[in-house]
Structure 1
Amino acid sequence: MNYKIWNGAAAIIIKDEKILMVRAKNTNSWSVPSGEIEDGETSKEACIREVWEETGYYIAILKELHKKKIIIEDYKVTTTYFLGKVIGGQMSYHDPDDNIEEISWKTRDEVLGLIHNYPEDKQMIEGLLLGQ
């Protein structure tokens, strides 16, 4: 099979023992802010841009957490996950794709009860929340 390539970046932002998450339109599932790396961007730059577009927050990258490689339908997906912290902005929508329905800070207990858009991320998120 000929796979298409998709490279993205995702942000894990934790503040006051809560994690920043978004819910896309027409779905009940949640994810951390993420999106595709655009031409000329580094994965860090894409991560910072995506968080601002999807949540309205400006972030600083603290460190790279890991790379997820997975096949989704006919795509080979590589997503680089970063740990970041809010350094400015306020909760608001700037998403040019107009995909985001809801932005929320979720507690660990809330995360446990959510439907996750990427279920493979749930364990990592829980571990980071427990480590705070």
Structure 2
Amino acid sequence: MTQDYIKALRKKVGHKPLILNFAGGVLANDKNEILLQKRSDFSSWGLPGGALEFGESARKACIRQFLEETGLKVRVKELLGVSTNFIQHYPNQDVAQAVTIEFIVELIGKTSEEVSSETLDLKYFSKDTLPNIFNEQHQLFIDHYFNRDYPFIN
């Protein structure tokens, strides 16, 4: 199966609601600040991650998405949590129920300064300096991480 599974699916169903699977990660530096991505679709901050391609595991999707969106190579350390009931309305009118598996990851290398057009900026934030997060699901993962309340299922 080729990549861009969601684009191919959206060509058939348009903007109708779908259930989609996502994976991402929380990467912390030595000050326990977490890396956030300013997303181009919402022009707001969230955790790096994205949709699984058909046949791809959540672990591999997390690693791939991190590389594409941040230029960083990461390794999955452990499960942060699973969130299954969030409905996302996108600026392009797409609607999806986001089933998201979030991991805690660690940095193993940097490959490039070039990142996906989905990324406007990357920055580390402490618990006390967090910007507004683009959706409640990402905020839930961030809260569970900083409260050390994981793994969790919602």
Per the normalisation by structure 2, the TM-score is 0.72
Alpha-carbon distance between aligned partners in 1 of 2:146 and 2:19, rounded to the nearest angstrom:
31
Correspondence 1:12 to 2:26: yes
Runs of 4+ in 1 over 6 A off after TM superposition: none
Percent sequence identity over matched residues? Answer: 23
Q: Using the alignment, how far apart are the partners of 2:143 and 2:98 within structure 1?
A: 22
CA RMSD of superposed structures (Å): 2.1
Question: Are the counterparts in 1 of residues 81 and 141 from structure 2 also a CA contact under 8 Å?
Answer: no
List runs of 5+ in structure 1 lacking aligned partners.
none
| Separation of aligned partners in 2, 1:128 and 1:91 | 27
For residue 65 of structure 2, what is the aligned residue in structure 1? 50
- Between Structure 1 and Structure 2, which shows a larger proportion of strand residues? 1
Which residue in 2 is equivalent to 1:106?
125
| Structure 1 residue 3 corresponds to structure 2 residue 24 | no
* Cα deviation code 1:6-53 (max 9, x no counterpart): 111011111121101100126442001010001221000000000111
Quote how far apart the aligned CAs of 1:123 are. 4.8
Listed as ranges, the matches of 1:1-132 within 5 Å are: 3-16=17-30, 17-25=32-40, 27-69=42-84, 70-73=86-89, 74-89=95-110, 92-95=113-116, 98-111=117-130, 114-129=131-146, 131=148
Whose Rg is larger?
A: 2
In 2 relative to 1, CA 3–51 (structure 1 residues): closer, same or farther, beyond 3 Å?
same
Q: Give the TM-score, by structure 1 length.
A: 0.83
- CA apart distance, 1:92: 2.7
Runs of 5+ in structure 2 lacking a partner? 1-15, 90-94, 149-154
Is the contact between residue 24 and residue 99 of structure 1 (CA under 8 Å) also seen in structure 2? yes
